[in-house]
Chains A and B, each alone.
Chain A
Amino acid sequence: MSRIRFDGLCKTYRGSVALDTIDLEVEPSTLTVFCGPPGSGKSVLMRVLIGLEPPSAGRILFDGEDITTLPAAARSIGYVPQSFALFPHMRVFDNLAYPLALQGAPRPEIRSRVQQAARMLRIEPLLGKRPSQLSGGEKQRAAIARGILKNANIFILDDPLVGLDFKLRESLMEDLKDMRAEIGATFLYLTADPLEALTMADHLVVMDGGHIVEAGPVDAMYYHPANLRTAELVGFPRCNILPGRMEAAGLVCSSAIGRFKVVLEDGSAASEVMLAIRPEDIAPAVPGVSPLAVGTVTLLENLGSETVIYVHSGDTTLVTTIPASANAVLDLGDPFPFMIRPGGPIVFDRATRRRIGRLAETPHG
């Protein structure tokens, strides 16, 4: 199983930098999600990895072997592009046989290997159909089967669910997880959707502006982001980011919604900070306890199982969620007394965007 390593990879297009010194190692047999806004460089990185474009500098290694100049066809990468790119004028069988036919494999071998791959992905009955007759999930499976027949053990899925309806996306994500367990290959998955990233990933790579902002296991990235940009990009609904200022003693942070005790990590002395407060770190105040602040409800979004609430408080709007069952009494313009869950929100240095600490367990300063 190939371990992929990017070693100082750079890519420039006519002077503009698309990838800036990418150093990264991808664990074999994991699903690594590359998440970032459009233009963050994730697609360029994949195109270079696939071999569709040469890097301007740096190397790509599979198991320590330099494959930077290897042609795309010789890399053991299965490419599943946006919307799957099954050839509409060929039957599913010929779509799957395409890599083998190009290699000049003899007919009987093609037939038996296509059937084997189709059996593995449970699309055998579909071999005689046209791609337009397949459901979204069947298309995904056919596209992956085509990758398998190229002898790939790395699969790149370039935003495969973009533009599909919500229900289909959900079932395709489930399907892909099952498939991955069956195939056991390495999957690299590109998306701009934080919810998709959190649902799919073992490992997460957050990209922005041609850089890797942060990489690591998905839980760590969510609960302990080292970079403010990670907190901004990963999470749904989006994380609340508000400016704060460390007071002289260095242990209290004041912000638009109140003052908090902060536990700093060693060696940090920034005075201008940013607070990242996840929606779930904001909770309605318990009756009888004095709230941190009282905001006003400005917007309610019912997601079914929960309700997203936009609360205006102290010149800023916070986003939080409450279970739908608790929503019966809320209306636009209602007061919303709330608390911040101690220990949850994270403090970042405003200048360097690095994490410098977290709110203390005792709530108020």
Chain B
Amino acid sequence: MSGRLSQGLYHAVLWLVALVFFAPVFWIVLSSFKTASQILAVPPLLVFRPTLANYARLFAQPAFEHHFFNSVVLSVLAVLIAVAVSFLAAFAFSRFRPGATNFLMFLLLSIRMLPGSAAILPVYLMYVAFGWKDSYIWMTLFYAMFSIPFSVWILKGFIDGVSPRFDETGIVNGASWLSIIARLTFPQVLPGVVAALIFNFIFVWNEFLFNYIIGGINTANIPVLLATNLSHGGGIDWTFLSSLTTVYILPPIIAVYFFQRFLLVGMTFGTVRGEV
């Protein structure tokens, strides 16, 4: 009985914490269906007549289309490039073990230990000097570069879990390394690839600082639009904020929902893997 009671209590706490974390998301989604005065009502209105006017106004803005397009293109391209490059790098680290592999792996990750605000100034000066500012290609490559270290780490863990005996079986039968990578290794580490894609997608999708500084009118993404178009006639434009945020958080939420089993494998990689 006491076991049941403590388990019930445990579940109640879990639910409470989950709800507290979910509350801001709930509030912003709810607000996107309210009028400006309803959003600001005290106490907050839970029962109201929903309106789609905010969305109609949002989708009618040419700025929305432009920024949404930028967000999608930059994140998808950068992540695909990063994971393709990282997969080959991780394979090389795992199989050919170049001298000082562990140190190289550490160096690779060290760029992610640098706070963005410390890196932004030199990166900005470099981008201006080379004329790369506000360019799709260089913005994409910047995000790809930033996504590679983490992807190499995730993927190397997965590839280490695939027995080299598979590679040797390929070699003995006349397969090239590319064929081994594509036909034998890649399908076996698909969960790791999906995990790397999603983690990096979320990072690039949410990135604000670098896009704001080394991007420009051409390449600005949704976080930049949110920040720059927030104020409206001396106040904050809550209807704009809530409807844009709701649209903006949908893609990552959908991706995480459909691939969550891969994400769980991704976060615990290297712990339970055996040879087949």
The interface of chain A, by Cβ under 8 A from chain B, is: 50-52, 71-74, 77, 79, 81-83, 85-89, 98-99, 102-103, 131-132, 146, 150
Which chain A residue shows the least CB distance to B176?
A: A102
User: Are the CB atoms of A73 and B174 closer together than 8 Å?
Assistant: yes
Answer whether residue B254 sits at the interface, using C-beta atoms and an 8 A cutoff.
no
| Contact A73 B169, CB 8 Å, known A88-B188, A89-B188 | no
CA–CA, A83 and B276, complex, Å: 7
**9 additional contacts (CB under 8 A) given A73-B172, A83-B163:** A52-B172, A83-B276, A86-B276, A87-B169, A87-B184, A98-B169, A99-B173, A132-B276, A150-B172
- Selected from B166, B175, B187, the residue in CB contact (under 8 A) with A85 is B166
CA–CA, A237 and B165, complex, Å: 32
CA–CA, A98 and B171, complex, Å: 12
Answer whether residue B179 sits at the interface, using C-beta atoms and an 8 A cutoff.
yes
Query: For A79, what are the chain B residues with a Cβ–Cβ distance below 8 Å?
Result: 168-169, 172
Which chain B residue shows the least CB distance to A85?
A: B165
Query: For B166, what are the chain A residues with a Cβ–Cβ distance below 8 Å?
Result: 85, 87
Interface 1/0s, chain B 180-224, versus A by CB < 8 A? Answer: 000010011000000000000000000000000000000000000
Question: Which 4 A-B pairs have CB atoms at the shortest separation, nearest pair first?
Answer: A73-B174, A81-B165, A85-B165, A89-B187
A-B contacts at CB below 8 angstroms, number = 58
Rounded to whole Å, the gap between the CB of B188 and the closest CB of chain A is: 6
The A-contacting residues of B in range 29-43, CB under 8 angstroms, are none
Which chain A residue shows the least CB distance to B190?
A: A89
Q: Give the size category of B's interface with A.
A: 10 to 19
Interface 1/0s, chain B 137-156, versus A by CB < 8 A? Answer: 00000000000000000000
Query: For B187, what are the chain A residues with a Cβ–Cβ distance below 8 Å?
Result: 89
19 CB contacts below 8 A, A to B, read A51-B171, A52-B171, A52-B172, A73-B171, A73-B173, A79-B172, A82-B165, A83-B275, A85-B163, A85-B165, A85-B166, A85-B168, A87-B166, A87-B184, A98-B173, A102-B175, A102-B179, A103-B174, A150-B172
Query: For B276, what are the chain A residues with a Cβ–Cβ distance below 8 Å?
Result: 83, 85-86, 88, 131-132
CA–CA, A52 and B171, complex, Å: 8
Which chain A residue shows the least CB distance to B174?
A: A73
User: Are the CB atoms of B184 and A83 closer together than 8 Å?
Assistant: no
Q: Is the interface of B mostly helix, strand, loop or mixed?
A: helix
Rounded to whole Å, the gap between the CB of B239 and the closest CB of chain A is: 50
Rounded to whole Å, the gap between the CB of B162 and the closest CB of chain A is: 9
The A-contacting residues of B in range 217-247, CB under 8 angstroms, are none
CA–CA, A236 and B252, complex, Å: 61
Query: For A150, what are the chain B residues with a Cβ–Cβ distance below 8 Å?
Result: 172-173
CA–CA, A51 and B165, complex, Å: 14
Rounded to whole Å, the gap between the CB of A197 and the closest CB of chain B is: 22
User: Are the CB atoms of B173 and A81 closer together than 8 Å?
Assistant: no
Rounded to whole Å, the gap between the CB of A221 and the closest CB of chain B is: 29
Rounded to whole Å, the gap between the CB of B170 and the closest CB of chain A is: 8
Which chain B residue shows the least CB distance to A79?
A: B172
Query: For A132, what are the chain B residues with a Cβ–Cβ distance below 8 Å?
Result: 276
Rounded to whole Å, the gap between the CB of B103 and the closest CB of chain A is: 19
| Contact A102 B173, CB 8 Å, known A83-B276, A87-B184 | yes
Query: For B173, what are the chain A residues with a Cβ–Cβ distance below 8 Å?
Result: 73, 98-99, 102, 150
User: Are the CB atoms of A81 and B179 closer together than 8 Å?
Assistant: no
User: Are the CB atoms of A52 and B168 closer together than 8 Å?
Assistant: yes
Rounded to whole Å, the gap between the CB of A76 and the closest CB of chain B is: 11
CA–CA, A99 and B171, complex, Å: 10
User: Are the CB atoms of A81 and B169 closer together than 8 Å?
Assistant: yes
Rounded to whole Å, the gap between the CB of B191 and the closest CB of chain A is: 12
CA–CA, A82 and B171, complex, Å: 16
Query: For A52, what are the chain B residues with a Cβ–Cβ distance below 8 Å?
Result: 168, 171-172
CA–CA, A102 and B172, complex, Å: 11
